[in-house]
Copies of this chain bind each other. A is one copy, B any other.
């Protein structure tokens, strides 16, 4: 396939590299051109503009937030203005369901196809082509994008025919991880004050009730209190909880746990935690118990 790829952060670079490895023709674009060079070395073409990257069968976006994607997709010379009729936009960024809906309508009006395909997985998983893809959109479009998903991930879930549903699932994933961080923070404070070694506790949890990467990874971070450099910085986590609350509010869904996470993240930011990994809010339970 001829694929344009816009957004070369840690995740995007890894995903584009795997598309190249799978034999696709990939034209990459990034605002800061330097980030494209490692991919050029792997055979990517480097586009000078969004419009140039959009002159393909498919353009994939992997950008930081709503604002960045809005600029790239809806602005002058943007994707909607440049993508050929019948071509497809695969949006993998973590964005609001509201923006996903706006894009659904804009692409439909322009005779283009739109698939929301956010992913679960950290940069290491992206590098190993082990992402999980939450795909949503018209079934034929999702089917057509399958070779892309196969190149970047280990499994694809067809979440819904409505693109924004995939964005909701993605947001809910980060919300659930946030709940794990808070609950671990509280539980570790309790058992820690009761004399149990925090690292042993994490080992117990992750080898009994809670196998899988989340409890182990975040438990270790919390036990060691080591939040720098951030793997996923606090302002990004805060953004995702904000998007979750906004999407929930639009549907009249109260989420008391998301409200708690919001308040914890605000406290973290107020106390100077903008440079820390977002999981640092999980130490506030200990602070409230007079520890640390």
Q: A169 to B204, Cβ gap below 8 A?
A: yes
Contacts of A169 in B (CB 8 A): 191, 196, 201, 204
- Inter-chain CA distance A184–B169, complex, in Å, is 12
Q: Are A194 and B251 touching (Cβ within 8 A)?
A: yes
Chain A residue total in the interface (Cβ 8 A): 75
Q: Could you say which residues of chain B place their CB within 8 Å of the CB of A164? A: 194
Chain B residues closer than 8 Å to A97, beta-carbon distance:
194
Q: Which of A29-37, A62-70, A154-162, A223-231 lines the interface with chain B? A: A154-162
Question: Which of A168, A172, A242 counts the most chain B CB atoms within 10 A?
Answer: A172
As for how many copies of this chain the complex holds, the number is 4
- Taking chain A's interface residues, is the majority helix, strand, or loop, or is none over half, making it mixed? helix
Asked whether, in the complex, the Cβ of A176 is within 8 Å of the Cβ of B187, the reply is yes
A254-276, CB < 8 A from B: 254-260, 262-264, 266-267, 269-272
- 7 intermolecular pairs with C-beta atoms under 8 Å apart: A173-B205, A176-B205, A177-B209, A252-B290, A253-B266, A254-B288, A259-B259
Give chain A's interface residues, CB within 8 Å of chain B: 97, 120, 132, 134, 155, 157, 159-160, 162, 164-165, 168-169, 172-173, 175-177, 179-180, 182-184, 186-187, 189-191, 193-197, 200-201, 203-205, 207-214, 242, 244, 247-249, 251-260, 262-264, 266-267, 269-272, 285, 288-291
